[in-house]
Structure 1
């Protein structure tokens, strides 16, 4: 069911968002009975506090939602998503207290709060409806919410039902929806088409590896999105311990995120040419699995020494990035759940990204603040290049020592693309529930990129 705003009715209930320092003014606007009720309930405008005010017939007349202090609000985002989940059934409108970017965020939070993953259980009850505020671009916000919902749904689906076949089907469904072209190279055809590392990583699975290639648009600069589609990662012969394998259904989070972003771009009809490349594989264990100390030759011709079969994401991305470069795009962006080192560096909530272009970095950082999609720039630190050069081959897929793991992975990927390039090393998972973000799969960086693209590509 698409996430959507409610239609206006004659029984719309107004919501007044009240910051902690505006409580007195808010209460002054109530009836004497309303003020007495608010005082009896201890309404102080605390962040997330909700006060429902009845009418003479016992129904809801209006709602006050506490917005706390600026310091409290800065510790998280999507606060109105919590209110959406707490309010009783009905149709609401935000009547006062928010404007500008805050109102946009509140409207998006309300829609995102309506997402739940219920493929295998009885669907949860729908949340209260919100009429789109007059001062927001409701159509754009609904598109963004549904792009995020697509990303969440793909990540949340277990690998038993989200292998390379199903990921391809999701891409085909999106292509049909937006009249995009799509081509898929599968199995041994990857060898004859010169995608050797994608084939090598996925060949041990009975679910064939593939490269998904989707194109949309015929005018404007070309943007190429490359998403890591490792649908499950055992670690290969360097098998992961059980504690590390538990969330590996989300190792296709980069692919899920670029598909969500692609939906936003196409639905909003951005004036650009879009290409989406997804190497979709399952990193499994079998007699023909690739081995530690193997040396692989990539599509680009660079040789790679395998020092850990669990560092497979950069291998499949390398072949796809080489392809991305071959039609001279204006910008290539890769997204991948690539390294645990990124989580150690910035935790699960920030999306670290890499670029050599200061203008692009500034555009993304500014956009991220505007749309409440936190990111953090990391360095392509050239002195670390020596760490990915093993001597026996051009590149090492897993440098020893463990230092700067996210940076060395990003440097590895940069070797395969000459076009303007940006890389996101995302987590793709919400560890515990937060407003408008239930525990589970989550998009990271997509909304910031959508906001920044016009500036980065001069649209």
Structure 2
């Protein structure tokens, strides 16, 4: 069974058994010492090809047709391990293979595959791209499932809210579950109040699409119990504390946490890991209407803690609070939540390096090492207990928006921590879910962050 794809696209890899054209992915030393095919070497010398990082040149054959390609990796390929993503956007259509490269086949192919992504759902033209042969020494199935998980997250984030509201996210969630024979259940609308998810209902009630809680179960009882929770705010106006026009431009990505846990779940299920998996997504739209929640309101959470609303634009932690409390009731072995939660996290670490928070030192070290090993970097930040005082308010147990604006990512994580009391190992990931500009392994737009690292951790633990 092929990995699940939300948007159907042709594979960037070739299954052709006949002739394919060679790509010489080389460092300067390959050219200086003459370690490549004579025809390629001759062309490199004539064309002045120096193998700088990302340099590309087609090689003509004796008849003047395309006979191959040169691709520069620079002096130290490890500095940009996914540089080969540029190949997918440089090679002309056709079937290709890597002839020489000082990289492992799996790393080279994963970089190429990541760089092959494009979001073309709304474009008329669907040009054919190049296809790269998977050699026998590479784990093709593993590469394809990782790409499928990443592409799913990117597709969901890139899709605008007119096609990715709470109902659409539910549809994608159900399709993912159906593909892997998972059990899916949904609590929608006023049923959220009846089943004690008051904060999910509060945030989403002003939208024309009802708020809902999505849940998926997969795997076998008795295996390691892993629960993934993802923030699914399909669009965030800011509510009555309305965002500026510029602040709303990227708010289709505010369900990036949901998109990423779905991508991670895909990898886990496709690999048939021996886990008891549970995925929970509160899917809402933070809209403005007569029944929108207000600054100053106080609401009781699923946990029983009361929350004072000091800013309706701090809605993500509200829906996560109910979802985390629900997940925590089963005390899983590992509880992970992912959310596009705070601008403070981006101020601290920028768009490429998501912070995570946990009290489990061993888990933190394992996640950090998995991130380094997969070139999917993550950085631990502190759950500084001294800042818990900032969550206090006079008439409720907690405020959702501490005054002062300092340590915003930490106070948000501390807020969430109040709803996780039974689970031993919990980690919160404050991701951006977006590439502001093109990089070798991805175009600008929606991005999967941390899930390749988490997949490696879960697979190896």
TM-score (norm 1): 0.95
1:421 to 426, 435, 440: 426
**1:148–1:442 Cα contact (<8 Å) kept:** yes
State the Cα deviation string for residues 197-230 of structure 1 (Å, max 9, x = none): 0000111111100000110011411110000000
TM-score (norm 2): 0.94
2:24 to 12, 16, 19: 16
Which residue of structure 2 aligns with residue 144 of structure 1? 146
Paired residue secondary structure (1:142): helix
2:235 to 232, 236, 259: 232
1:4, distance to aligned residue in structure 2 (A) = 4.8
- 2:81 and 2:343 map into 1 onto residues whose CA distance is 24
1:186 to 165, 185, 188: 188
- 2:43 and 2:185 map into 1 onto residues whose CA distance is 63
- 1:328 and 1:137 map into 2 onto residues whose CA distance is 35
Which residue of structure 2 aligns with residue 374 of structure 1? 377
State the Cα deviation string for residues 11-53 of structure 1 (Å, max 9, x = none): 212222211343312x35443x654431221111100112332
Which residue of structure 2 aligns with residue 323 of structure 1? 326
1:251, distance to aligned residue in structure 2 (A) = 0.4
Structure 2 alignment gaps of length 5 or more: 1-8
- 2:102 and 2:42 map into 1 onto residues whose CA distance is 25
1:133, distance to aligned residue in structure 2 (A) = 2.8
Paired residue secondary structure (2:405): coil
**1:227–1:254 Cα contact (<8 Å) kept:** yes
Paired residue secondary structure (1:68): coil
1:96 to 100, 107, 125: 100
Paired residue secondary structure (2:157): helix
Which residue of structure 2 aligns with residue 312 of structure 1? 315
2:74 to 68, 75, 81: 68
Which residue of structure 2 aligns with residue 264 of structure 1? 267
State the Cα deviation string for residues 328-382 of structure 1 (Å, max 9, x = none): 2111100000000011011111111111112111111111112111211111111
1:2, distance to aligned residue in structure 2 (A) = 5.2
Paired residue secondary structure (1:85): helix
Which residue of structure 2 aligns with residue 118 of structure 1? 120
State the Cα RMSD in Å: 1.5
Structure 1 alignment gaps of length 5 or more: none
Which residue of structure 1 aligns with residue 340 of structure 2? 337
- 2:390 and 2:158 map into 1 onto residues whose CA distance is 35
Paired residue secondary structure (2:406): coil
State the Cα deviation string for residues 67-109 of structure 1 (Å, max 9, x = none): 1132x862x5521110221112221112222334xx3232112
Which residue of structure 2 aligns with residue 85 of structure 1? 89
**1:107–1:133 Cα contact (<8 Å) kept:** no
- 1:10 and 1:351 map into 2 onto residues whose CA distance is 43
- 2:378 and 2:31 map into 1 onto residues whose CA distance is 33
1:132 equivalent in alignment to 2:131? no
1:6, distance to aligned residue in structure 2 (A) = 0.7
**1:29/1:294 CA distance change after superposition, 3 Å:** closer
- 1:343 and 1:190 map into 2 onto residues whose CA distance is 32
Superposition pairs for residues 46-65 of structure 1, below 5 Å? 46-65=52-71
State the Cα deviation string for residues 375-420 of structure 1 (Å, max 9, x = none): 1111111111111122321111110111110011011001101211
- 1:62 and 1:116 map into 2 onto residues whose CA distance is 24
1:364 to 358, 367, 370: 367
- 2:37 and 2:340 map into 1 onto residues whose CA distance is 50
Which residue of structure 2 aligns with residue 160 of structure 1? 162
- 1:352 and 1:49 map into 2 onto residues whose CA distance is 33
1:295 equivalent in alignment to 2:302? no
**1:3–1:145 Cα contact (<8 Å) kept:** no
- 1:388 and 1:22 map into 2 onto residues whose CA distance is 59
Which stretch of the first structure deviates more once superposed, 429-438 or 4-13? 4-13
1:349 equivalent in alignment to 2:352? yes
Superposition pairs for residues 232-251 of structure 1, below 5 Å? 232-251=235-254
Paired residue secondary structure (2:163): coil
**1:164–1:210 Cα contact (<8 Å) kept:** yes
- 1:384 and 1:447 map into 2 onto residues whose CA distance is 31
**1:4/1:42 CA distance change after superposition, 3 Å:** closer
1:318, distance to aligned residue in structure 2 (A) = 0.3
Which stretch of the first structure deviates more once superposed, 316-325 or 374-383? 374-383
